[in-house]
Amino acid sequence: MSIGKKRRSTGRVTLADVAQLAGVGTMTVSRALRTPEQVSDKLREKIEAAVNELGYLPNLAASSLASASSYTIAMVVPSFSESGCADMFAGLQRVLQPAGYQIMLAESQHHLEREEQLLETLLSYNLAAAVLLSVEHSQNTRQALLAAKIPVVEIGAMRADPIDMNIGIDYVAAMYQLTQTVIASGYQNVGLLCANQEQWIFQQHLQGWHKALLRNHMSPHRVINAAQPASFSTGAQQLPEFLLAWPELDALVCASDELACGALYECQRRRIKVPEQLAVVGFGNSDVSQVCQPPLTTMTVPHKEIGIQAGKALLARLNDQPWQPEGSLPSTLCRRGSC
């Protein structure tokens, strides 16, 4: 006598369990969960009561494979501590969550190979779309995303040849305006402090910096690009390096507010008067830039608006609606007491 092989139970509540408790078929439960407007109010309430009683959680991966569609969007960022990451994520959520989409967040740790591996895994989940907080990728990543034929939006900085859609600010123009403001304020010996960030953004910062210095017939050689993260401690550690290399320094442009505030703290420790002896400016207009002492002159980067616009672009494409690029979003100068 042959004995049939019995499938081992995982203990997970299934759609069939919900259907049995509600006294309906599994197709009816599936329809009520996917398109509740197609089910009567009385039946929907009965099914919802069964779902709540059993604690049923839909298997999203299985349903997306079965239907060849997904409500999952992957967002890959270089680092969770990247400037503006939380605000851009919040902007995306504000648009995409009400439409039923969930965002899966992953960190590439500033490595192109790591980003490539992450996307290879994430694409196997039949993603609806992908968001990349970067405009620098390996050729394999670009090819894989193009082959996936899903909407892709690169956010943060602008790029001439994006994979698909691109929403961000013009870092060259923003850094040029910030540096030009410092020079126009009368400072003659200006330095630039950058730290571990996307190479593409560093290059754009550097391009804007060089443009401002050279147009004013000033030397652009006072630059430090630290290997450490763009943090308060890095800003504090690098200020002595600047003063040792260039004791004539009278203004410091920082690629992030965190670096600038760290430099401000070190100025206070060394009793360097800001801005009388040394002007310090930042980039990003984070919360800390408004409450440090003195308040920080900085460039506003509309991180949340970038996320909102990216969400709207994805939603348009996912609904087969046209999307037209509008160019870079504006960044504005905030003049405060540090310069």
Residue ranges per domain, the chain? 15-58, 70-169+304-329, 171-300
Considering the four listed CATH numbers 3.30.710.10, 3.90.110.10, 3.40.50.300, 3.40.50.2300, the one that applies to the domain covering 171-300 is: 3.40.50.2300
Does domain 15-58 fall under CATH 1.10.260.40? My reply is yes
Asked if 154 contacts 98 with a C-beta cutoff of 8 angstroms, the reply is no
| Distance, CA of 248 to CA of 256 (rounded, Å) | 23
The CATH homologous superfamily for domain 70-169+304-329 is Response regulator (3.40.50.2300)
| pLDDT for residue 2 | 34
Q: How much of the chain, in percent, has pLDDT values that exceed 90?
A: 62
| pLDDT for residue 7 | 34
Single pTM value for the model: 0.75
Indicate the SS3 state at residue 284: strand
| Distance, CA of 163 to CA of 170 (rounded, Å) | 18
**Is it true that 70-169+304-329 and 171-300 share their CATH fold?**
yes
Q: What is the mean pLDDT of the chain?
A: 88
| pLDDT for residue 62 | 53
Q: Are strands 298-300 and 129-132 parallel, antiparallel or unpaired?
A: unpaired
| pLDDT for residue 11 | 60
Q: Are strands 298-300 and 332-334 parallel, antiparallel or unpaired?
A: antiparallel
| Distance, CA of 294 to CA of 30 (rounded, Å) | 59
Tens-place pLDDT, residues 231-274: 999 999 999 999 999 999 999 999 999 999 999 999 999 999 99
Cβ density class 165-202: b for 16+ within 10 Å, e for less: bbbbbbbbbbbbbbbbbbbeeebeebbbbbbbbbebbb
State the burial class of residue 105 (Cβ atoms within 10 Å of its Cβ: 0-12, 13-18, 19+): middle
Indicate the SS3 state at residue 37: helix
| Distance, CA of 310 to CA of 226 (rounded, Å) | 31
Nearest CA to 58 out of 19, 15, 25 is that of 15
Lowest mean pLDDT among 21-25, 94-98, 172-176: 21-25
Lowest mean pLDDT among 189-193, 194-198, 260-264, 289-293: 194-198
181: left (phi over 0), alpha (psi -120 to 50) or beta: alpha
Higher-pLDDT residue of 42 and 68 is 42
Asked if 102 contacts 71 with a C-beta cutoff of 8 angstroms, the reply is yes
Does residue 197 have a pLDDT over 80?
no
Phi and psi at 249, nearest 5°, equal -55, 130
